[in-house]
Structure 1
Amino acid sequence: MQVNYAEHKKRHYTLKNVRLETGFIKDESGVIATQTDLFCVEINNGQVSQVFANDEQLADAIDAKGLLMLPAFKDMHIHLDKTLYGLPWQALSPKRRTVADMIAYEQEIIPHLLKTSVERAGQLINLLQNYGTTFARTHFNVDTTSGLRSLENLEKALNNKKGTFSAELVAFPQHGLYYTDSAALMKEAAQLPNVSFVGGLDPFSIDGDIEKAIDFTVQLAIDNDKGIDIHLHDAGEEGIRTIEYLIEHTLKNPPLQGKTYVSHAFALAHLSQKAAEGISEKLSEAKVGIVSSVPFRNKITMPIPTLVKHGVEVLVGNDNVQDYWSTFGTGNMLQKAKLIAELYGWETEFDLSRTLRFATKGTLPLDNNGAMQWPMTGDDADIALVDASCSAEAVSRMSPVNILISKGNMVPLKS
């Protein structure tokens, strides 16, 4: 679709022929289809200012030509600071099998990667935008090899995308707090106003002391009014003990509730159903969320349905997009939603429509009863217009994004 991207400089405009979901169509078996209709949507000063009956003759309106309007996507776990995207293809090396192996490799190559990381982060953001993403939670390395230079370059890349892409930043001790002496650097990073979360890495297998590493991270978050998002690859008893110890801290410190997350949390994938139910209840009580890249290699399947059933906030991200940790990331949040639907058998119209929430950080056009709840007047104008008839089709077919709007600004996409 041809769009005049000079429009992105305008703060007030109207879209016509916009397809919005208006309800579910049901029979005796339940939801069998999604009802839609065409509307006009007015955008003013970065927000939805009005949704009204469609007027095909409306002058000066941008014609959406029947595209389906969805909330723009949010990638809730990615590393924009150290991608290989934009460089020649590289598959993974068979020499590097463990997290410790990767730390040693990073210490070798990060000084070289930093020379072009601003440009490559920008290229990766372009990829995300072309798949409909306007927001990311991105981790940045805090390590003794590079100090805070990864953050400096990442902020330059994000500033280059100001107005069309935004992010919240996680200070991430990729080489461990104590495996390398990174604690002082983490204290420095945690004081920065642009940093929203402090992270951690495998308190047992990398830092060698669950209590010491978690105690430090929790106190750092409290002292600086930050959230927590730690990487936890440890499985078995140690992984579960790490999660439970973090839950204990969060229950004791209410300001951390709803701001504390465990990324990956592979230990949960190896639990019995009964054990998964039990720890899901604990996570829900403490308002500790799980952030997953939805792994399925080596028969690792996260208990996402169990977590969701118990009210645990489950966020999803691409994590790696062509880097030296993994080559399978696509940058496409609809692909992640589709993978979730396939893994857990969520294939009905209703279930597919609900699965969209993993791409949008919970925002859905219709509530569970089929009532319209997005877009509403006052909502941020973060919008993806996709070539699909409904949310269920968009997830199932990973429908292409033809128009992307971020805070009211139109984002130029590759054709």
Structure 2
Amino acid sequence: MVSTTLVNVRPWGAPASDVTVDDGRIAAIAAHDAARPPEPDDVPGEGRILLPSFSDVHVHLDSTRVGLPFRSHSVPEPRTLWDCIMNDRENWRDAGASVAERATTTLGRAIGHGLTSARSYAQVDADCGLERLAGVVAAREAHAGRADVQIVAFPQAGLLLEPGVPELMDAALREGADVVGGIDPCGLDRNPVAHLDIVFDLAERHDVPIDIHLHEAGELGLFSMGLVLDRIRAHGLTSRVTLAHSFALASGLPAVAGVLDRIAEWDVALTTVAPGPREGLPMTDVLARGIRAGLGQDGQRDYWSPYGTTDMLDRTWQLAFTQGWNRDALIEHALAVATVGGRSVIDPAAPRLTSLEDRPGLAVGDAADVVLLRGDTPTAAVMDRDGGRTVLRGGRVVAQDGVLLG
């Protein structure tokens, strides 16, 4: 049995404790004993805040340019989704490093900031085939001892607009992808029946979950959500579907409440990249219904956007800011969404958030996937986003002060 003690830590900002980890799980939590003799395997907490580690559940590791020279945003205005797709297609091979190198660098930096689980998209289309998937798989393998990475086979350019894409998606699910993706069945492919036929057929044949990007706004987006929810009911896929972005839920239309009720009924997960009040999820309404929700960084310094730092604590601040949250309890809840909330998106059986005050993930028996942060309180940690972090996966230190170990 491998035993480690995190000495003088503050779980979720509570009074100082000593947390014992055995075989990768939290075995005991006791008040900090300043007189306790140090052990060789102790992890010095130094009074830092102990949190569950971060989960980025909406990241495009195949498009990142983190670590490379900065390039100005090159999509002409007013930009459309298709403009962005084609601009990426024209540039990604000339990024200056391979997909595997870029994805590995970006994932490593995210781990250094406190991440130990992620769901990454890997583009599959007639242009790149499975090349971008292979790059994300390589990054997952490079950091296999430090983080769990679930990969979505993602038809960024649609399933129906170019020949051979459904067959490529099928191959991707045999070659390392864990989830089947979809995108804007009405707005992009303009054939929601055929699009969803392919997505749900692949999910059932490969026994994998589904993750669908829905950029569609307003009534069109709500219509697409309704079609997806109808399919979930017909196929009995409760707890097996995630809707990403879901900008239509920010529309304020009267139908939103009913759609949220159906999302809760079929245990559909939602993910957001905290884009702002016009497109961001109505988080308090989502959380009040017990809907699983997680946070992600999206693309980072790529051909879609110059934003992104690999630090989920930055994106936590952005979630709180764009939601207009000022009270400590709400800002702490943004941390809960960015950590255990994301874990429950990846694994529906994982502990999930039950209220705005719920702070799970650090109880006896929980996995010792944790991060130590500096800060007077969890809210202060979000506001200041200091360095000096220690990241543990399964009770083993995998990053210290941004430097990867092991």
- Shorter-chain TM band: 0.7 to 0.9
Identify the range of structure 1 (148-157 vs 245-254) with the bigger mean alpha-carbon deviation.
Answer: 148-157
Structure 1 residues 310 and 373: CA distance shift in structure 2, 3 A = closer
- Equivalent position of 2:192 in the other structure: 210
Instruction: Read off the aligned partner of 2:370 and give its amino acid letter.
Output: I
- Whether contact under 8 Å (1:293, 1:316) holds in the other structure is yes
Alignment pair present for 1:17 and 2:4: no
Alignment pair present for 1:402 and 2:389: yes
- Equivalent position of 1:271 in the other structure: 252
- Whether contact under 8 Å (2:53, 2:371) holds in the other structure is yes
DSSP-derived class of the 1:405 partner? strand
- Equivalent position of 1:25 in the other structure: none
Instruction: Read off the aligned partner of 2:392 and give its amino acid letter.
Output: I
Output the CA distance in 2 between the equivalents of 1:43 and 1:92.
46
Q: Specify the structure having the higher radius of gyration (Cα).
A: 1
Structure 2: which 5+ residue stretches go unaligned?
344-350
Structure 1 residues 345 and 179: CA distance shift in structure 2, 3 A = same
| RMSD, matched Cα | 2.6
- The 5 Å alignment of 1:115-126 reads 116-126=98-108
- Equivalent position of 1:355 in the other structure: 334
- Whether contact under 8 Å (1:82, 1:113) holds in the other structure is no
- How many aligned positions are there? 389
DSSP-derived class of the 2:70 partner? coil
Output the CA distance in 2 between the equivalents of 1:332 and 1:142.
26
- Equivalent position of 2:305 in the other structure: 326
Output the CA distance in 1 between the equivalents of 2:94 and 2:353.
48
- Whether contact under 8 Å (1:393, 1:399) holds in the other structure is no
- Whether contact under 8 Å (2:330, 2:356) holds in the other structure is no
DSSP-derived class of the 2:389 partner? strand
Q: How many angstroms does 1:19 deviate by?
A: 1.9
Output the CA distance in 1 between the equivalents of 2:75 and 2:169.
31
Among the aligned pairs, what percent are the same residue?
29
Output the CA distance in 1 between the equivalents of 2:96 and 2:192.
31
Output the CA distance in 2 between the equivalents of 1:355 and 1:399.
17
Tell me the TM-score normalized by structure 1: 0.86
Structure 1: which 5+ residue stretches go unaligned?
1-9, 22-33
- The 5 Å alignment of 1:154-233 reads 154-181=136-163, 182-192=165-175, 194-233=176-215
DSSP-derived class of the 1:80 partner? coil
Instruction: Read off the aligned partner of 2:48 and give its amino acid letter.
Output: L
Output the CA distance in 2 between the equivalents of 1:374 and 1:313.
15
4+ runs deviating over 4 angstroms: 363-374
Tell me the TM-score normalized by structure 2: 0.88
Alignment pair present for 1:43 and 2:21: yes
Identify the range of structure 1 (39-48 vs 240-249) with the bigger mean alpha-carbon deviation.
Answer: 39-48
Output the CA distance in 2 between the equivalents of 1:288 and 1:257.
7
Output the CA distance in 1 between the equivalents of 2:17 and 2:246.
42
Q: How many angstroms does 1:211 deviate by?
A: 1.2
Aligned to 1:289, which of 258, 265, 269?
A: 269
- Whether contact under 8 Å (1:42, 1:50) holds in the other structure is yes
Output the CA distance in 1 between the equivalents of 2:373 and 2:288.
29
Structure 1 residues 114 and 174: CA distance shift in structure 2, 3 A = farther
DSSP-derived class of the 1:337 partner? helix
Alignment pair present for 1:335 and 2:314: yes
Q: How many angstroms does 1:115 deviate by?
A: 5.4
- Whether contact under 8 Å (1:276, 1:306) holds in the other structure is no
- Equivalent position of 1:58 in the other structure: 37
Instruction: Read off the aligned partner of 1:390 and give its amino acid letter.
Output: T
DSSP-derived class of the 1:158 partner? helix
DSSP-derived class of the 2:15 partner? strand
Instruction: Read off the aligned partner of 2:214 and give its amino acid letter.
Output: L
